[in-house]
Amino acid sequence: MKNIAVFASGRGSNFSAIVKAVKSGKLRARLSLLVCDNSKAAVLGKARKNKVRIALVKREDFSSKQEFEDGIIKNLRENKVDLIVLAGFMRILSREFVRAYSGRIINIHPALLPSFKGAHAIKDAFEYGVKVTGVTVHFVDEKTDHGPIILQDSVRIMPKDTLMALENKIHKIEHRLYPQAIGLFIKGRLKVKGRKVEILKS
């Protein structure tokens, strides 16, 4: 059984969705570690409640970004992590870190990449006035919000929708799509060909 590490800095709603998928047996993997850089993050309480090991690695405790990331890597190695799942981790990983775990880091983004990159994708899509937005799960490469796309799903923005209503729609898709994408990785069904991902038949 493969070991997953979730990286999160905030509420942890996607963390909870992954925990639920593991506990229900829909995701046949071991959630072996939560990596968090924020001592006040709500996700820490969720990890403790679900008895998931925590690595609280704060940037201010290290003299350089390299030492900070070395601290994270030490925890990953100790827990024999096979897949890194970014779920609202508010740090950009260095080129060296991404290369060290190439093909083993995935991220979820609340828009249909390559549209609306960045930290405020839901708000940006809403304010721009697009009729359709969505969610993307992708492999992480050396550029932000850029790597090969694993799965996408769309949602319509209705005239009556508020920003909060759109956020709720997006989160519902995230909580379904992320465990699905993780499952494809765990089953060895993802084959990367350049910038494209082929989903192999089971």
In degrees and rounded to multiples of 5, residue 131 shows phi and psi of -90, -25
- Do residue 96 and residue 53 come from a single domain? yes
Q: How many domains does the chain have?
A: 2
Q: Which two tokens stand for residue 80?
A: 């024999």
- Do residue 84 and residue 152 come from a single domain? no
Last residue of a domain, one of 76, 101, 126: 101
Last residue of a domain, one of 101, 118, 142: 101
Q: Give the pLDDT of residue 193.
A: 87
For the entire predicted model, the pTM comes to 0.96
- pLDDT score of 202 more than 80: no
194 band by pLDDT with thresholds 50, 70 and 90: confident
pLDDT tens track for 84-141: 999 999 999 999 999 999 999 999 999 999 999 999 999 999 999 999 999 999 999 9
pLDDT tens track for 11-66: 999 999 999 999 999 999 999 999 999 999 999 999 999 999 999 999 999 999 99
- How far apart CA 200 and CA 183 sit, in angstroms, is 12
- Do residue 64 and residue 79 come from a single domain? yes
Mean per-residue pLDDT, 185-202:
92
- How far apart CA 83 and CA 164 sit, in angstroms, is 31
* Structural domain boundaries enclosing 118: 107-202
Catalytic residues: 109
- Do residue 91 and residue 126 come from a single domain? no
CATH of the domain at 59: 3.40.50.170
